[in-house]
Amino acid sequence: MNTRLLAAAAATVVACSGVARAGDDALSYALSETEALSLSLNAPGALYIGVQTQFRYMVNSRDDSAGALGDSDTTIGFNMRRAKVTMKGDVTDNIKGEIVFSFGHDTGYAKITDAFADWKVSDDVTLRIGQFKLPILREESVSSKKQLAVERSATNETFNQDRSQGVQAMFGGDNWRAMVAFSDGLNSDNTAFNAPVPMGGTYGPEADYAFTGRAEFKFGDAGWDQFDQFTSFRGAASGMLVGGSVHWQTQGDTNPAVSPEQDILLVTADASYVADGWNLFGAFIFRNTDAGAGADFDDSGAVIQGGLFVSDQTELYARWDAVFADSARGMTGDDFNSISFGINHYLVPESHAAKLTLGAGFTLDPTTTSIVSTSDGHNLLTDADDGQFSLIAQAQFLF
């Protein structure tokens, strides 16, 4: 289905839907079985549509000892950071489908971010088939709707898995769960099966083989759904989630071949604690990239963050994150550290449906001497000096 047809279908869904339900975070629109079939979705039940918007005003100021930026060392402006449309429905009694379209903040063009089906093959095992996020970094796996800070950390952006295409088995018990995936590798969404690895890219389409495993263990009274977010509202039960993951992929050996061949090993460990009005989260990431001929690098990163409610609807947060590059990388082998803090105000109590956030960040090291990822999306720009300052004012609405 092309973008225009999808937009028309989505508009038809909203216009024709006579039933609107208020969910925990947003309004969901339901279609009757007949209407759903008329859109060729073949869904036996209701079709649900949700929209996420994150609108920002952004300020960035960089030190400019070299004078390369002239009078342009401060950058300001508005930005539609995220605009997403989610469609969910039942395929059969034991198969559910989901597709998410994201509109680029720099182009406005729509692309598929998630497109998968969850097939419950037994009471104990569910298979996920399609395009989705691999279960590696927990910070990346928590939805952008339910982050603590205004944006994910620079450490996460440097190591994150993003989306891939593959299959994943999910299983578990009352206090543990595990996921095992076979995929095309890190950051390989929206690619053909013969897409080449980008020249000089750390990640990218298309791995020959990629295997991922993650396990999580829950302690305390908090339910699993409390760990779908980092925030812990006042009155919430206390609990801890401890998790870890291992991902390995090799690329460049099968057609189209790439020289040199490259193996990537990614290992993570993380812990989250939620309580009555406050939360803590910490993670450590290790990555080995082996491209042969002496290009064998061990890089790592760390994140520590926490939040505290000062009223029923207002939350303060702070975070430190770091990227530790292998010194063998030479010019980009230095460490990178940053700190950030901010405030969230929840317009709807105990819900992310309408949330205002003001977040500030400071870099303690240059970006150009590290492997840290820079982008306008998380307001970290290229800078040869330390002391970069960023400010983001954001309004999030889910409907």
Q: What are the extents of the domains in the chain?
A: 52-80+134-398
Helices (H) and strands (E) in the chain, counts: 4, 18
Report d(CA 173, CA 154) in Å as an integer: 33
Q: What is the model's pLDDT at position 68?
A: 66
Q: What is the pLDDT of residues 23-66, one digit of tens each?
A: 344 333 333 333 333 344 455 668 899 999 999 999 999 986 65
Decide which of 101 and 25 is more confident.
Answer: 101
Alpha-helix residue ranges (DSSP H) falling in 226-277: none
State how far the alpha carbon of 81 is from the alpha carbons of 105, 230, 333, 339, 359, in Å: 5, 20, 30, 21, 14
What's the confidence (pLDDT) of residue 23?
38
Q: What is the pLDDT of residue 199?
A: 53
Going by pLDDT thresholds of 50, 70 and 90, the confidence category of residue 395 is: very high
According to the model, what pLDDT value does residue 66 have? Answer: 56
Segment 346-394, tens digit of pLDDT: 999 999 999 999 999 999 999 999 999 999 999 999 999 999 999 999 9
Strand-pair category, 296-311 with 314-324: antiparallel
Best CA proximity match to 362, nearest among 376, 380, 375, 384: 380
Closest CA to 180 of 246, 94, 272: 246
Tokens representing 193? 């099966």
Query: What is the pLDDT, as a whole number, of residue 115?
Result: 98
> For 119-152, how does the pLDDT look when each residue is reduced to its tens digit (9 = 90+)?
999 999 999 999 999 999 999 999 999 999 999 9
Q: Is the pLDDT of residue 192 over 80?
A: yes
pLDDT digits (tens, 9 = 90+) for 201-255: 556 678 899 999 999 999 999 999 999 999 999 999 999 999 999 999 998 888 7
Q: Give the helix/strand (H/E) hosting 211.
A: strand 209-220
Among 18-27, 189-198, 290-299, 350-359, the least confident range:
18-27
Q: Calculate mean pLDDT across residues 318-338.
A: 97
Does the pLDDT at position 292 exceed 90?
A: no
> Please, what is the average pLDDT of the chain?
87
pLDDT value of residue 6: 46
Q: Report whether 278 contacts 308 (CB < 8 A).
A: yes
Architecture category of domain 52-80+134-398 in CATH? Beta Barrel (2.40)
Instruction: Please state, in angstroms and rounded to a whole number, the distance separating the CA atoms of residues 241 and 243.
Output: 7
pLDDT (tens digit per residue) in 272-285: 999 999 999 999 99
Distance of CA 47 to CAs 31, 50, 82, 129, Å? 6, 10, 23, 19
